[in-house]
Amino acid sequence: MAKPLLAGNWKMHGTATSAAKLASEIAEISGENPEIIVFPSFVSIPGVVSALSGRKNVAVGAQNLSHYSDGAYTGEISGQMLAELGCTYVLVGHSERRTYNAESNELVAEKFSAAQKSGLTPILCVGETFQQRQDKIQLQVIKAQITAVIEKVGLQSVCDAIIAYEPVWAVGTGETATPDQAQQVHSYIRAELGDKGVDTQLLYGGSINADNAADLFTQPDIDGGLVGGASLEAEHFNNIVQQLIERK
């Protein structure tokens, strides 16, 4: 059984000061379980790492990384830079980056590989658009997104990472996938990974909040969540953490 995990993606919200404050509040109210990861903006990472020093219950991740390891790439951040700052996780293929930065499945696979080479655990985000769901091709879309990464790094490396199913139509829209819709995709992903994927953490993301979290977390193949908007306030996020702990 995969271990429960809750991740908070803070996107481009707040400042280094407010991010450090939010990190300490989350660490203060969250107990030892489940595993928690926060994803501040790049510039907020050092302050968040230092606000969390000595607290083992919350890990820090980055929202993106370069697929290059080093070189003349102005404005880019390498996996090694992130690892040195104290990050242990990184998001790859978030739908906002696929959409606004034209990140292809192949580029996401390169980033996934760069992350693992730097010792970071990638969280691979996959998910279909509204139109793709209307066309009933969501499973093909997700398969292509995952296959591109398997072709680059191999099945075992993908199973060693974390996968987040985030339907594009549910991210930041207030519209959540129903527990059945989410479970259907999660069980499909689990089956695609086969025996090696039994313990792979599969997260759901897309407008999770304190009102809908419990029903999502009771699904057999949903091991936790990747939370955006509802992770920006410590009490709200902790409420979701509690629901994951208490899930039936």
Contact positions vs ligand PGA (CB under 6 A) = 9, 166, 171-172, 205-208, 226-230
* Least Å from the CB of residue 38 to ligand PGA: 12
Question: Is the Cβ of residue 48 or residue 213 nearer to ligand PGA in the bound state?
Answer: 213
Q: Is the peptide bond before 220 cis (omega within 30 degrees of 0)?
A: no
Secondary structure (DSSP) of 97-151: HHHHS---HHHHHHHHHHHHHTTPEEEEEE---HHHHHTT-HHHHHHHHHHHHHH
- For residues 111 and 92, the answer to whether their CB atoms sit within 8 Å is yes
Residue nearest to ligand PGA (CB): 228
- On the 0-12 / 13-18 / 19+ scale of CB atoms within 10 A, 143 is middle
Q: Could you tell me how many helices (H) and strands (E) the chain has, helices first?
A: 11, 8
Told to judge if 166 belongs to the known catalytic residues of this protein, a careful annotator would answer: yes
* Least Å from the CB of residue 198 to ligand PGA: 25
Question: Is the Cβ of residue 80 or residue 242 nearer to ligand PGA in the bound state?
Answer: 242
From 67, 128, 166, 186, the catalytic residue: 166
Question: Is the Cβ of residue 70 or residue 235 nearer to ligand PGA in the bound state?
Answer: 235
* Least Å from the CB of residue 228 to ligand PGA: 2
Strand partners, 122: 90
d(CA 201, CA 212) in angstroms, rounded, equals 20
Question: Is the Cβ of residue 70 or residue 207 nearer to ligand PGA in the bound state?
Answer: 207
d(CA 217, CA 246) in angstroms, rounded, equals 9
From 35, 67, 94, 110, the catalytic residue: 94
Give the end-to-end CA distance of the chain in Å, rounded to a whole number: 14
Question: Is the Cβ of residue 9 or residue 64 nearer to ligand PGA in the bound state?
Answer: 9
* Least Å from the CB of residue 105 to ligand PGA: 18
* Least Å from the CB of residue 78 to ligand PGA: 23
d(CA 246, CA 242) in angstroms, rounded, equals 6
- Catalytic residue IDs: 94, 166
